[in-house]
Structure 1
Amino acid sequence: MRGLYRLVLLALVFLISICTVVIIPTYFLKSTLAMGQTRKQCPTEYKANFTDGKFQAEAAEVNCLQGKSGSVGIEYPDRNGTFKLAEPNKRIGKGRLVVPKNSGATVGLVSKLNKKRILNLIAVGFSKKTDSSYIFTCNISGSVAIGSIPKISICTNIPYNRTARSTDSRTKALPKSEGAPVNARQFCSALASSGYPWDYDYVSNTKAGLDIRDKDICQLALEKCEKNPEKKAEDTCQITNQGSWRDYDPNANKLNVLLQCSDRSQPYYAQGEGKDIDTLVSKLKQQSYTDKAKNCALYLYNNDEVLISPQGNDRTLIHTEETNAGFVINGLVGEAKIIGSKDPRTDQPIVTPLKARESYRFKDSTDTGKAQPLSREEFRKVATLPVVKAFVDCKNWELEETCAEVQKYGETLLPATDVEQVTIKGFEVWKATINLAKPGISVALADSRRVTAANFNQFVQQQQASLILGGIYRLGNWNLRSQGTTRSSGTQAAYTILALDSNNRPKMVTLTDPGSSIDLNQYPFVLQAGPRLVRDGKAALTAESVKREKHTLSVTNRDFRRAGICISQDQAKLYYVLRNSPGMSITDLAKVMASEQIGCWQAMNLDGGMGPALAYEGQAKAPPDNSGTSKAEAQPFMIVVREK
């Protein structure tokens, strides 16, 4: 009997294991408050069933957070279409995350069974000007950074909804003949699991007032899909998109109806007034049914709103922000298309390509159909906005896989060069960063023999470089190469060499090390200096090491300005450190450069005293200390870093 019991138990465990394997993969949205230095983990998770690229009906679980200036939480539409804050832990499928200004949240959609599959990552809020929201599954408004990989993202099109218009003073004095006040009307579309057919439902105005339903809109859309005579018996229906549009709005009185289907190169499209929604949607529905179009999703948006469509197979990152007269969409990573209102020449919506480092601006209900390039300074400003910084900050994400993914976005956003003033081990220094992995970076030498402290600003303006660095020893003893040309052929067989190959991969060699050698002609950029300060991440300067390199520098003298240059451990960056006043020895410099705040893996000393100099983005941060022309020869070249 006991053996039979064990057999039954083993069979039950085996059956449970099989069931576990065939259960539909569960994906989840994780929402975390993150603003300034504060971070609060949500008590629950949004949950979603996801199969064959489509969501099942039951899609979310509520998280309620507290922001600095109000409640951050999930709202959901009630029977009359009005969004209300949901109770904590109430299970819903049609919610939105509402984030007041000066507060923020991050939302990540990843696979629970395969957490390395990152579908969508969103940072919402962090704005001082506007409230922001993320409407499940893809609708956004206000200040949002949304990242996705188009090939596997749940968001083929991301509707950008404006919020300011609904409270615009121009909409408050409408004559009764023009209809009801401006209101957001809810809609939802659903799709059979085989990809055909699709159906929809919505809340709209009627003569008697707001159309009130006994069930929520997405549930009605699902029921209509399930009862659709075109549906196969074995199919189930699932939500493909939900959102809202505004009717009776004199500022945006046209409604765009777009039906995106996976097997059609162009969407089904119509434009009309909000009150004609039945006619507009029914027309597209009939056309798609006639064509047996597959995997269709419905989008309704006003003339002053757009759809954002990520393109390609690589990751994309888009930033949005509402303005007083419109909104702006910035391309940060990858490519997208902005789908706008009707183009009278084609009767199709205006489609605007948006590349990384480009900006699409919508102003006063005007869609120009063009994206403008962001200058280097403009791009840097967008990339360092609070909402974007929150997106790429690992501290705002729980899973290691999510953290790894946002780091990839962050590496792409990193500026090619950066400068900051930091205090390390009691020493205030300038730290300059050169991101060698960025495409279009060039490191070269510029003749600076006539540059003094007095005319350094003029030299900086002439160079038009992103970064200018000083600290090269006088000519005669040192090997220097720039852009493949030898600028100085030295006789020094000692000291240390920094070299960059044609792909900007760095190498640092100390010539007195046993077995050390380097063919300088193989490297377009060569800088010889010394002594060696850091080896393999640790300060390595001693009086004995200085002697081995045949240098005469004192390791304790603190009478001069100091400078050094180094390679990061991953060989992706160069760091330049400058102490702009006396008080630091080269021993101190070695310890500073080996610190975590700098991050040097291999480092060498540069010419101190008169030589160190620094300029960034056309602004002199630290001029050379050579006020007389007779001393100017001490600085034969300066390092110039340019970004295409």
Structure 2
Amino acid sequence: MFAASATALQAGPKQFAYLDEDTGRTFVPLRLMGEYAGAAVDWQPEAERIVLRKEGKEIVLHLGRSEAGIGSEAMPLDAPPFALDGVTYVPLRFVGTALGLSVEWQKEINAVRIAQQDGDVRLPVVPLGSIRTDKSPIVHESRTFQVGGKSFKAQIITISLMDPRVELDVVPAGGKIGRTEALSSIAERHGAMVAINGAFFDAYTESDIKMPYGWIMNDGEVLNRGTGEVRATFIYDKNNLAEVADGGDMPGLIREGNIDGAIQAGPRLVRDGKVDLDVEGERFRDPKILTSSGARSALGITRDHKLMLVTVPAATIPQLAEIMRQAGAWQAMNLDGGASSGLYYNGKYVTTPGRLLSNVLIVKLER
């Protein structure tokens, strides 16, 4: 995850890196070079000229021009800077090397890690031209999957996480951990376009207080602490860079300070595009998880930074894992299920839960 020194980057609009698939080059916002790399940035709009200064070194680039200067030396560029939607992007490899940064590609989450001596930052990587604000970033569909000779009809809502209009939140019922509330009520109260049930909770206690199990975070704040669970956990940062983390890593990841939201549930279903189940290793003992078929909820993350929220009326955990793989998840995990399984979209239920819920993952869409 991120080191503490990268915290300042997480304020404001999402930041990501663009991949030009024609050249294979990656571009990052010019702003990043000032905020993170510690360079003085001089943008001269009339000349479309960029000057970066750091530790006595001066780097000069021009928009659309295939050459750059480092000090008095002119150097060719096969990936010239460009401007898009009011943001100036510069070639990461060239500028990063010139400023003494280490650049690492992180395949498992389709991100680039940029490091210097006092910390690092990760940015999601998206293909140039893939973010289309003229289209809705949220799509609902019903799909039928064949697993082991059986048919399963799933409800799937797919969210483009890099779209600037998309915001994720993890919210407790009634605004406080331990309360319960209808899924639709939670969604409507928060102005959500999409909502799905989240972490397991003590649904069968006679007490009015029904506590969730495991880590729950929102806006960087820990709302509910894990108690040593190693179960899979969905985490994301301010850029909506999302992943399924191993639950045992959560204390260290939280100390690093840049998780914006988290829901711990499990088990993990898919890792790197392949079914990856270790139900007993995640310390599940309930037959409802180990062997039974039941209503299921799950989330998946695609390689191109889309979030899939899925419900299936009756499936075992291995069947659900195969469904998520076939649906295109690169990473995936199970959420609470049974009577808790519920999915809300655009003002109505797609899957109606059979009980009040403790906590939910919501998606808000800025107009």
Same fold (TM over 0.5): yes
Query: Matched residues in 2 for 1:537 and 1:409: separation?
Result: 21
The 8 Å contact of residues 422 and 431 in structure 1, kept in 2 or not, is answered as: yes
1:636 pairs with 340, 349, 358, which one? Answer: 358
Q: 1:468 to 1:530 in 2, by over 3 A?
A: same
Q: Is the 8 A contact 2:301 2:308 kept in 1?
A: yes
* Cα distance, 1:519 vs structure 2: 2.6
The one-letter code matched in structure 1 to 2:171 is A
Which position in structure 1 is the counterpart of 2:329? 600
- What SS is found at the alignment partner of 1:547? coil
The corresponding residue for 1:486 is: 222
- Quote the residue 1:562 is aligned against: 296
Segments of 5+ residues of structure 1 without an aligned counterpart are 1-115, 117-311, 316-405, 627-631
Cα separation, 2, equivalents of 1:313 and 1:478: 43
Quick one: structure 1 residues 478 and 313, their matched pair in 2 at CA, closer, same or farther if it must change by over 3 Å? Answer: closer
TM-score where L is the length of structure 2: 0.55
Quick one: distance in 2 between partners of 1:558 and 1:497? 22
Q: Tell me which of 518, 532, 536 is aligned to 2:253.
A: 518
Within the candidate set 162, 176, 182, 1:437 is matched to 162
Equivalent pair of 1:510/1:516 in contact (CA under 8 Å) = no
Contact 1:480 1:526 in 2 (8 A): yes
Helix, strand or coil: the match of 1:588? helix
Partners of 1:551 and 1:438 in 2: CA distance: 36
Q: Is 1:501 aligned with 2:237?
A: yes
**Counterpart pick for 1:586 among 317, 332, 337:** 317
Q: 2:139 aligns to what? A: 418
Report the Cα distance in structure 2 between the residues aligned to 1:553 and 1:510, rounded to whole angstroms: 20
1:561 alignment partner, SS class: strand
Aligned residue for 2:181? 451
C-alpha distance 434-614 of structure 1, shift in aligned 2 (>3 A): same
1:427 aligned partner:
152
TM-superposed deviation, 1:639: 1.1
Q: Taking structure 1 as reference, are residues 460 and 481 closer, same or farther at Cα in structure 2, changes over 3 Å only?
A: closer
**Is this contact kept in 2: 1:482–1:526, CA < 8 A?**
yes
Counterpart secondary structure, 2:298 = strand
Return the alpha-carbon distance in structure 1 between the equivalents of residues 197 and 271 of structure 2.
Answer: 23
| CA distance 1:460–1:512, change in 2 (3 Å) | closer
Contact 2:231-2:283 at 8 Å conserved across structures: yes
Match of 2:194 in 1: 467
One-letter code of the match for 1:574? Answer: L
Find the aligned partners of 2:344 and 2:216 in 1 and give their Cα distance: 21
1:551 matched residue in structure 2: 284
Aligned residue number for residue 81 of structure 1: none
Q: How far does the alpha carbon of each residue in 1:401-454 deviate from its partner, in whole angstroms, 9 at most, with x for none?
A: xxxxx99367444422222111111100111112110013211123324324xx
| Separation in structure 2 between the aligned mates of residue 537 and residue 589 of structure 1, nearest angstrom | 14
Helix, strand or coil at the partner of 1:575: strand
For 2:194, give the aligned amino acid.
L
Deviations 1:132-160 (A, max 9, x none): xxxxxxxxxxxxxxxxxxxxxxxxxxxxx
Q: 1:444 to 1:457 in 2, by over 3 A?
A: closer
Q: Kindly indicate whether the alpha-carbon contact (under 8 Å) linking 2:187 and 2:362 is maintained by their aligned counterparts in 1.
A: no
Alignment of 1:237-256 (within 5 A): none
% same residue: 25
In 2, Cα distance between equivalents of 1:484 and 1:313: 31
- In structure 1, distance between residues paired with 2:180 and 2:231: 26
> Are the structure 2 counterparts of residues 620 and 477 from structure 1 closer, same or farther at C-alpha, using a change threshold of 3 Å?
closer
Aligned counterpart for 2:307 among listed residues 549, 554, 574: 574
* Secondary structure of residue in 1 paired with 2:162: coil
In structure 1, the residue matched to 2:344 is 615
2:152 partner letter? F
Q: Look up the SS of the partner of 1:519 in the other structure.
A: helix
Residue 353 of structure 2 corresponds to: 624
Distance 1:530 1:561 in 2: 15
Q: 1:567 to 1:517 in 2, by over 3 A?
A: farther
CA distance in 2, matches of 1:575, 1:560: 20
Is the alpha carbon distance of 1:522 and 1:587 closer, same or farther for their aligned partners in structure 2, counting shifts above 3 Å? same
**Residue 62 of structure 2 aligns with which residue?**
none
> 1:507 corresponds to which letter in structure 2?
E
Are the equivalent residues in 2 in contact too, given 1:417–1:433 (CA < 8 A)? yes
Structure 2's unaligned 5+ residue stretches are 1-21, 23-81, 86-126, 174-178, 202-210
Whole-Å Cα distance in 1 between the matches of residues 197 and 319 of structure 2?
19
Q: Secondary structure at the match of 1:620?
A: strand
AA matched with 1:620 = Y
Alignment root-mean-square deviation, CA: 2.9
Report if the CA contact (8 A) 2:199-2:213 is conserved: no
For residues 477 and 458 of structure 1, the distance between their equivalents in structure 2, rounded to whole angstroms, comes to 22
Structure 2: which amino acid aligns with 1:604?
A: M
When Rg is computed on C-alpha atoms for both structures, the one with the higher figure is: 1
**Aligned ranges 1:192-341 → 2 under 5 Å:** none
Distance in 2 (alpha carbons) for counterparts of 1:539 and 1:499: 20
Q: What TM-score do you get using the length of structure 1 for normalisation?
A: 0.33
Between 1 and 2, higher relative CO (CA 8 Å, sep ≥ 6) is seen in 2
* 1:576 shift after superposition: 1.3
- Structure 2 SS opposite 1:504: coil
